[in-house]
Amino acid sequence: MANRPVVAVVRTAPERVLEDIEKLFAAAGAARAFDAAATTILKENISWHYPFPGANTTPWQLDGAIRALQKLGYRDLVCVGNNTVVTDPFKGERLNRLRGVLERHHIPVRYNFRPQDIRWSVYTPRRPLRVLHRVYPEGIRIPDFFHGKNILHLPTMKTHIYTTTTGAMKNAFGGLLNTRRHYTHSVIHETLVDLLSIQQEIHAGIFALMDGTIAGCGPGPRTMTPVRTDLMLASADSVAIDAIAARIMGFDPMSIPYLRLAHEAGLGVARPQEIEVVGEDVRGMDLKFTVGDNLASRGGDLFWFSPLKAVQRLLFHTPLVYAFIGASYVYHDLYWWPTRGKRIAARIRREDPWGKLFESYPE
């Protein structure tokens, strides 16, 4: 098949990961994907402010991406952080050792929730959308700053309680939608397809570097079981990189709605046999990941996908939503992190080479 998208995969190690990221950028065609004259946004992924392995952009992922871009001549770089109702971005940058990387490379940071950094305006898509125009009938607002910029997504390889897997496509969720993005959860797959369509209209170039050195299995994107794979992936096709990551984790990409819908819409390629994988041979790899559930996911399933979704507007479009935000905080931050997550993270930092590399980066 001509013009197949390329996904570059490398099996790496802590002592050479920065050099391997540079090789990934070359193999996946980063220089061809980006507009050399445009500013490049580094879109970090902080699913949780706590440094839980597999959940967040890693410091070596960010470090390696900046070094690789600068070697290619891309000097106009800016990191964009986003806010969520359950995650503190400032705490997340510090605890996940990303702030130190940005400061060392003198990369400015803008936060899409601070008006002094980024303003939002209603955007009229050129192509028909599936759901966002109905979710936001008053208009789809996106950050003005994103127009005409390259964007580098920095997701991790992990499962997700609502979308089965999460990666490059889902990484746009926090960047392009404001704190009312929970309105879309009942139509999350269609939302991700709409967001990719918008990205392809507004960005000068799109590229993704996915960290799977320690992947996340289970009820992600936070309460997972870390699994060391030593893998990193890169591609200019967000659908293709998510599809190959899904296949590695043990899922059929075409059975995951957001990937199948994006493929059918011509926004990327999700069938593994139509994707050129270069570097590490992962054709027979199957990590047999499962999503599972937890208290948060069971509550989400009840209100987002059961007949109770009929009362969503009452529960989530009014101040009642703060009760659910509080419940999530109690479960994740006051229960799961101190009783399980903190202990798991400490063991990996103490015993695993990737954990030791993490410790070598300052906050």
So what's the pLDDT on residue 283?
Answer: 85
In a domain, 331, yes or no: no
The pLDDT of residue 322 is above 80? no
In a domain, 318, yes or no: no
In a domain, 329, yes or no: no
Residues 119, 144 contacting (CB under 8 angstroms): yes
Q: Convert 83-99 to b/e letters by CB count within 10 Å (16 or more is b).
A: bbebbbbeebbbbbbbb
Give the whole-angstrom CA distance, residue 153 versus residue 167. 9
So what's the pLDDT on residue 303?
Answer: 58
Tokens 């490059």, residue? 168
Secondary structure element (H or E) that encloses residue 156, with its range = strand 156-160
% of the chain with per-residue pLDDT over 70:
90
pLDDT tens-digit readout, 225-280: 999 999 999 999 999 999 999 999 999 999 999 999 999 999 999 999 999 999 99
- 33 residue type, one letter: A
In a domain, 213, yes or no: yes
Give the whole-angstrom CA distance, residue 302 versus residue 300. 5
pLDDT tens-digit readout, 34-87: 999 999 999 999 999 999 999 999 999 999 999 999 999 999 999 999 987 678
Q: Out of 96-110, 172-186, 196-210, 317-331, which region has the weakest mean confidence (pLDDT)?
A: 317-331
Residues 167, 157 contacting (CB under 8 angstroms): yes
So what's the pLDDT on residue 302?
Answer: 58
Q: Among 67, 4, 73, which Cα is nearest to 34's?
A: 73
- If one counts the domains in the chain, the total is 1
The pLDDT of residue 300 is above 80? no
Give the whole-angstrom CA distance, residue 292 versus residue 57. 23
The pLDDT of residue 311 is above 70? no
The pLDDT of residue 307 is above 80? no
In a domain, 102, yes or no: yes
In a domain, 290, yes or no: yes
So what's the pLDDT on residue 314?
Answer: 55
% of the chain with per-residue pLDDT over 90:
80
In a domain, 315, yes or no: no
So what's the pLDDT on residue 1?
Answer: 45
Domain around 113: 6-294
Strand 164-166 to 156-160 pairing: antiparallel
What CATH code is carried by the domain that includes residue 121? 3.40.50
In a domain, 363, yes or no: no
Q: Out of 99-113, 154-168, 196-210, 325-339, which region has the weakest mean confidence (pLDDT)?
A: 325-339
Tokens 């070697």, residue? 71
Give the whole-angstrom CA distance, residue 248 versus residue 244. 6
Residues 294, 283 contacting (CB under 8 angstroms): no
So what's the pLDDT on residue 192?
Answer: 97
